[in-house]
Chain A
């Protein structure tokens, strides 16, 4: 701090800071903190949507039932599979697109504008668009694949239990890869140019430059992007709900929890499922921060 700032001035600034923070903190406590506390609380009761104020405690019963429900485990498995596969594919594709965008090739502006389109489209809309394209009778995907002879008969893409989850993953990859590409591109653009000049003068192979120079340098930014996408994928709801409804073959943990909370009006049990989802996300974050050494900081 500068010398001409008197201690009392600094104290005044600090007091103002807390005053400025107060409205935001009150709102967050109201819309996030309190509802979360209530959800955790409800998870130990038999509350239903109709009797939110008349319920009794049931201890850990909801959690015990949850652990014994094969549909729940299917939802856990679906969510984890969806997360791992889609984030991995999006990272690889995003990295590729970012590298193309970063190289000075013709058609770069067109490409950047084009990949922004999937990102701008609401998830619900993209789910409907792809649902129509994957339609079993009138869908363009079946028509094209039949036309070039890749399949012998039309497939029921979203109804077939073996195909539905891959379809959901494919739609997510289409929608979210641009986000990955843009974040990685931003990291690439911050790299010092002279480093590459030096590598080129020394005649190092581009592939080697990528693995030895580029990848280690963008690793911190890449890890943050992967963490953001992972947390986003773990709580996926819209895509499954619109594309395949409450179908068990694709149901995510969020879809499962909402089905019990709202459709079956079993707030206690649904809250237990939602609470477990929060714990999974917390575990993923802790894992990323400790093992992956991801540092997230507002402009540190």
Chain B
């Protein structure tokens, strides 16, 4: 029995190390400069923050973070606004074609982004949005909108019928019911759904890589992927790791803080067999 407990403890420890080590190694690397980068040591003998100052002073990384924040925040706000209305219709009103619509919404969130790339490129150029944040606000809707609609629909369905009926007896129309009766109850659901959509938009790579060109217009993932050194063969690993740590720490913080809500948000749409 004791042996079994120890074995389980070791197993759990092993999984924890496996999950956490790469990030820990990124932190350690980000503190190394010069030749220290090219020796494998558990902790740098002379830890330095030079990589962190360099990404903000010598590269427009601050601007990249701002771009990512702006694109993700606006696309999430827009998606939630559209999705609340749509979710009421899909979750609480019985009409013909509802099942088909839900299927279409899910289908859109599933299809490969590369499949809309040429059509979107044409649209982005036509709207004059190439190399601007607007192109990302437009294209990110393709995955944030179906996701928020889907999750909020499952949530809307579970709100008590009596609430709506009482409001109807009082003469409230559908719009008043959504905005005055349901919306105040949906704070937690909106927060969880919004956070997940935000993370998805924050992490997006393909559209951001394709629709932006200059360093200033890039988002965080593109900046990290394309960070280069003096020559093609000399990647600035210290800086890449510093940038990675900067954008990952807030995400890990948010995720750990909202653990429970995230798990319920993730499973709301997915696990209903």
Contacts and interface: CB of A to CB of B under 8 A. Distances in A.
Contacts of A119: 255
A205 interface: no
B224 A235 contact: no
Nearest to A123: B203
Contact of A254 (B38, B114, B154, B254): B114
Interface stretch (B46-54, B57-65, B81-89, B184-192): B81-89
Contact of B125 (A52, A224, A296): A52
Interface in A87-117: 97, 100, 105-107, 110-117
Contact of A38 (B118, B221, B248): B118
Contacts of A138: 37-40, 237
Interface of A: 2, 4-5, 9, 12-14, 16-18, 20-21, 23-24, 27-28, 30-32, 34-39, 42, 47, 49, 52, 97, 100, 105-107, 110-130, 132-133, 135, 137-140, 143, 174, 178-179, 182-183, 185-187, 219-221, 223-225, 228, 231, 234-235, 237-238, 241-242, 254, 257-258, 261-262, 267, 270-271, 274-275, 277-278, 281, 285, 294-300
Contacts, number: 310
B20 to A, nearest CB: 5
B115 to A, nearest CB: 5
Interface in B228-269: 237, 240-241, 244, 247-248, 251-252, 254-256, 259, 262-264, 266-269
Interface string B90-122: 110101000001101110101111111111111
A298 B225 contact: no
A159 to B, nearest CB: 12
Contacts of B203: 122-124
Nearest to B101: A21
A38 to B, nearest CB: 3
B237 A132 contact: yes
Q: Which 6 A-B pairs have the closest CB atoms?
A: A220-B273, A35-B119, A38-B119, A235-B112, A17-B89, A16-B174
A114 B15 contact: yes
A278 B115 contact: yes
A30 B13 CA distance: 49
A296 B157 CA distance: 16
A167 to B, nearest CB: 13
24 contacts: A5-B168, A16-B89, A20-B174, A24-B82, A30-B123, A31-B123, A52-B122, A100-B15, A114-B19, A117-B252, A120-B248, A120-B254, A125-B224, A130-B22, A140-B40, A174-B22, A182-B267, A187-B273, A220-B273, A237-B114, A261-B118, A277-B115, A295-B273, A298-B90
B53 to A, nearest CB: 20
B257 to A, nearest CB: 11
Contacts of A179: 266
A124 B115 CA distance: 20
Prevailing SS type, chain B contact patch: helix
A257 B110 contact: no
Contacts of A183: 266-267, 270-271
Interface string B127-166: 0000000000011011001100110011001100000010
Given A20-B86, A24-B83, A174-B18, A271 B118 contact: yes
Contact of A122 (B101, B108, B202): B202
Given A120-B252, A231-B110, A21 B86 contact: yes
B183 interface: no
B74 interface: no
A123 B266 CA distance: 18
Contacts of B149: 24
